[in-house]
Amino acid sequence: MIIGQGIDAQVISDVTRLAERRPEFIDVVLTPAEREVFDIRKGKHQMEFLAGRFSIKEAYSKAIGTGIGSEAHWHDMEVLPNEAGQPVMVKHPKQDEAVAHISISHTGDTVHSSVILESLASLHQPVSERRPSWLEISAEALAHNVAYVRELTETNRFFAVVKANAYGHGLPQIVTAAKRAGVDGFAVATIDEGVWLRQFGVKLPILILGVTPATYVADLAKYDLIPVVASETWLDDALSQLNSEATLTVSVAVDTGMGRIGIRDRAELERVVAKLNAADNVVFQGIGMHFATADGNDTVYFEKQLAKWHELTDELDLPADIWRHLANSGTSLWHEQPSTDAVRVGAAMYGFDASQGALPNRELQPVLSLKAELVHVKQVPAGTSISYGATYTTTEPEWIGTVPVGYADGYPRALQGMDVLLPDGRRAELVGRIAMDQFMIRLPEEMPVGTVVTLIGQVGDEEITLVDLANKMDTIPYEIATGLSPRLPRHLVK
């Protein structure tokens, strides 16, 4: 649950002039540890650092609702670069109650900061901020993917699908990046995800893709969420429980062959449409369907579903301004658009190749990277067995590095034998079984503790993708991404 959020902006040149007039201002704002980082920086980068810390601390004070003063002094908050150089709030007054998700970015002469405080009580497990393993979420890649799909589809509305913790990428980070990228709305799977978005401050339309029990119709109206009408029975139940003073916005789900939820019968659909048109306190906003095979190279079933859509919906008495939303990621990327009213895009926004190589490559950029530091390095003699089950035994002296990521982090045991990338782009093989919290790699030579390795992501011309991991496990990239544990910190980067 979000317990506070704050934003701030500072003009870097103004902060520079203030620091020149009052040099003591620097030590007022910066902790001793921050001052050490400041002193290492040169030229304009010093003042960018100072302005960023000044701004993020102002944003934090707004998040707790007090301003700088009784509950939050400058030195009560400390923001230091992590192993990847990204800012992390390592100390703050609400540390025992909340995780502080922060973002600092620069636009010209202005620094922009945001702080979101998420209650620790609402987390299923603690985020391991002090363990050197983390996810990086690229705002730049996400913005590229949104713009690319917009151009490809010529859609009027881009709905960002952020269900399942934004496909494992992290809701606070993805929602922040998606709003910056100019999306027109969000889509989630459950009412609770929709409520979270509202509490996070989202004002855009929010579509719930799964069926919400009609007993929660009051909450749907209260939080201005758009449920799907999947049957006439659901609509009757919802209307009977809707307060006459409340307004409910809905979208009708049509099942043309996905076989999951939605109305399959034309007569039932006509009755539902008539009831919606007659209801005084219902806004009939949308009607949609879901393609089952849009990311495959056989278009026969796709065309069958599209024909069924027209059979069910053509010449219906629909509102003139209704949103027809049919396109998922596969439809957006590889098919002529059945409607330009709106698209619902998840996989493509995150940079996934939903076809896993079966269809022509599209110009998408992966949003997620998984990185860690070596926490232990040793040389072992020939005949040394590594990890549980002694499934790997060295045949010669080898350098072995320990990586603090395991299957509890969503890096499954089935990935034994997978490569990771070293800082120079060379590959190192994962040897022995993956344990709950750690695994080992065979290094080409001795490397220092603290060396960053990339488990998912790109180093130079070499890349390890979610699709590579999925192919290794005979699954889909979504399953890998959504399985990444909440205990892995997610950092929004440029």
Reported as half-sphere exposure (CB side, CA atoms, 13 A), residue 470 has a value of 18
Question: Which pTM was predicted?
Answer: 0.79
The residues that bridge with 202 in the sheet, in sequence order, are none
Cα–Cα nearest to 230, from 289, 312, 281:
289
As annotated, the binding site for Mg(2+) includes 8, 58
Instruction: Say if residue 156's pLDDT is above 90.
Output: yes
Question: For the chain, what percent of residues have pLDDT higher than 90?
Answer: 82
Question: For the chain, what percent of residues have pLDDT higher than 70?
Answer: 99
Which of 107-111, 126-130, 330-334 is the least confident region?
126-130
Q: Are 217 and 240 in contact (CB under 8 A)?
A: no
Where does residue 68 rank: exposed (0-12), middle (13-18), buried (19+ CB within 10 A)?
Answer: middle
| Mean pLDDT (whole number) for 253-274 | 98
106 vs 319 pLDDT, higher one: 319
Which of 88-92, 135-139, 306-310, 397-401 is the least confident region?
88-92
Catalytically annotated residue among 163, 371, 392, 407: 163
Q: What is the DSSP letter of 212?
A: P
Give residue 123's pLDDT: 58
Domains and CATH numbers, the chain: 2-123 (3.90.470.20), 139-345 (3.20.20.10), 368-464 (2.40.37.10)
Pairwise CA distance, residues 115 & 5, whole Å: 5
Instruction: Say if residue 14's pLDDT is above 70.
Output: yes
Instruction: Say if residue 122's pLDDT is above 70.
Output: no
As annotated, the binding site for substrate includes 260, 436
The residues that bridge with 107 in the sheet, in sequence order, are 110
Instruction: Say if residue 428's pLDDT is above 90.
Output: yes
Give residue 44's pLDDT: 87
Q: Are 174 and 190 in contact (CB under 8 A)?
A: no
Catalytically annotated residue among 44, 222, 378, 388: 388
Reported in sequence order, the residue ranges of 70-109 that DSSP labels E, i.e. its strands, are 78-81, 87-91, 98-107
Instruction: Say if residue 276's pLDDT is above 90.
Output: yes
Angle at 83 between CA 72 and CA 438, to 5 degrees: 110
Instruction: Say if residue 207's pLDDT is above 70.
Output: yes
Instruction: Say if residue 5's pLDDT is above 90.
Output: no
Pairwise CA distance, residues 295 & 346, whole Å: 13
pLDDT 10s digits, 71-118: 789 999 999 987 667 788 888 998 878 888 888 988 889 999 999 888
Give residue 148's pLDDT: 97
Instruction: Say if residue 120's pLDDT is above 80.
Output: no
pLDDT 10s digits, 179-192: 999 999 999 999 99
As annotated, the binding site includes 8, 58, 260, 436
Pairwise CA distance, residues 370 & 134, whole Å: 6
Phi, psi of 302 (to 5 degrees): -60, -50
Which of 56-60, 62-66, 230-234, 454-458 is the least confident region?
62-66
Tell me if residue 388 is catalytic.
yes
Helix (H) or strand (E) holding 188: strand 185-188
Give residue 298's pLDDT: 87
Give residue 483's pLDDT: 95
Pairwise CA distance, residues 173 & 291, whole Å: 28
Instruction: Say if residue 126's pLDDT is above 90.
Output: no
Distance of CA 216 to the CA centre of its chain: 27
Q: Are 269 and 287 in contact (CB under 8 A)?
A: no
Give residue 360's pLDDT: 85
| Mean pLDDT (whole number) for 426-437 | 97
Instruction: Say if residue 386's pLDDT is above 90.
Output: yes
Dihedral angle of Cα 8, 14, 15, 19, to the nearest 10 degrees = -160
Give residue 125's pLDDT: 66
167 vs 83 pLDDT, higher one: 167
Give residue 281's pLDDT: 95
Which of 131-145, 241-255, 347-361, 392-406 is the least confident region?
347-361
| Mean pLDDT (whole number) for 428-433 | 98
Tell me if residue 222 is catalytic.
no
Give residue 83's pLDDT: 64
Instruction: Say if residue 355's pLDDT is above 90.
Output: no
